[in-house]
Amino acid sequence: MAVVQNVLEPATVRAHFPALDQRVHGHPLIYLDSAATAQRPNAVLDAVRDFYERDNANVHRGLYELSRRATESFEAAREVVARFVGAAEPAELVWTRGTTEAINLVALTWGWANLREGDEIVVTMLEHHSNLVPWQLVAQRTGAKLRRVDIDDEGRLRLDQLDELLGERTRLVAVGHVSNALGTINPVREIVERAKAVGAKVLVDGAQGAPHHKVDVQALGCDFYALSGHKMGAPMGIGALWARRELLEEMPPWQGGGEMIETVELEHSTWAAVPHKFEAGTPNVAGAVGMAAAAEYIESLGYDAIAAHERALVRYGLERLSAVEGLRLFGPEDPEERTAVFSFALEGVHPHDVATILDAEGIAVRAGHHCTQPLMRRLGVPATTRASCWVYNTTDELDRLAEGLEAARRIFA
Ligand code: PLP
């Protein structure tokens, strides 16, 4: 039983993830980099292996058994992931390589078709480069302008400033569900309400949302939701864009090739129905199958149990890490406003040295700008060290992290 009375049972959950069962530099691995990519549960590894062992064939238009099975698995996976995010129908779910590709798809199709000189795109100080650079590119080409919502000293979005920025020129608000660098959970529902009041569309970067929270795109009220499989236990190279059907219908295709067409002449073509219009070329079928298995695995643990586990880790981590001398933690102080992502600076020790010292103890953390350079500048640091947790992490591991940091301080003292 992985879940007992709505609480994750750590030993059982950990046993689902074979990669965790190894020693690194002579120490048991402590994996604290799930915001970069999560480890994969057996349910996903088995699903991918089963697909390649039994059903592997190219999808759609195949008239033989394996191709039929592969197509069925691919479209069944779409149904699972569509349900996982609360889509009204599977056709609203476009497979992509991940969040980055999903956002670029929206920028290059909806953005190009709808943005004009003087239009405004509102982003935030917390955005990952994936939810900033695509908008810069489309702004440069269309004459639209980027506006940015700042954060307060705890790394929470300044909604008062959002109100000032929103206006009749706002066409789109692009906001992350959860900050990968600070763990801040953004009030997306509230942001959507305010954006809708001025008639703007809302794109949610859900890369860090989907692994932790029940995503319900209908309840959020957004127009686009982007997610990555590998952050939620699925293989790399698969992800999805959810968008309301009427938007997908209006959006022009972006990549041309096989699969996305209905008829092809020399000079022009007509397009396949959504979502296939956006899926040129051979798709990552095994990835889609793996992403569906990951979604079902998360659901089998249960969102209440995941939330309770994360809250316990957040509370414990905030308290334990605050006790490390010379450690400055970034992000909201209120555990309810953040996920179990701990971004920090250790006085006198460069973040890369912190990560290297921890690695020698078998502790995997990330050091750098976390693809959020504007945010790092806002915080006044070149980089932070980040420890990020998921369903398999324990408070014991956070103790080991804190001890490793104390040792690092002693080395550099
Ligand atoms: N957005 C956020 C908030 C992220 O954390 C990441 C990955 O770190 C991305 C977007 C990009 O995701 P991917 O590299 O899977 O496309």
What's the pLDDT tens digit per position in 131-161?
Answer: 999 999 999 999 999 999 999 999 999 999 9
The per-residue pLDDT for range 196-230, each reduced to its tens digit, is 999 999 999 999 999 999 999 999 999 999 999 99
Q: Which residues line ligand 1 (CB under 6 A)?
A: 36, 98-100, 128, 130-131, 176, 180, 205, 207-208, 228, 230, 239, 371
The per-residue pLDDT for range 239-248, each reduced to its tens digit, is 999 999 999 9
Q: How confident is the model at residue 1 (pLDDT cuts 50, 70, 90)?
A: low
- What separation in Å is there between the alpha carbon of 361 and the centre of ligand 1? 27
- Give me the catalytic one of 35, 103, 313, 371: 371
The predicted model gives 382-396 an average pLDDT of 97
Q: Which of 231, 339, 370 to mutate to test the pocket of ligand 1 (most atoms within 8 A of CB)?
A: 231
The per-residue pLDDT for range 243-301, each reduced to its tens digit, is 999 999 999 999 999 999 999 999 999 999 999 999 999 999 999 999 999 999 999 99
Closest residue CA from atom 6 of ligand 1: 207
In angstroms, rounded to a whole number, what is the distance separating the alpha carbons of residues 171 and 73? 37
- Give the mean pLDDT of the chain: 97
Closest ligand 1 atom, residue 205 Cα: 1
Single-letter residue type at 310: E
Closest residue CA from atom 4 of ligand 1: 207
Q: What is the pLDDT of residue 2?
A: 80
Residue-level length of the chain: 413
The predicted model gives 32-45 an average pLDDT of 98
Retrieve residue 376's tokens: 């790092």
- What separation in Å is there between the alpha carbon of 180 and the centre of ligand 1? 8
Let me know if 371 is a catalytic residue.
yes
Q: What is the pLDDT of residue 62?
A: 81
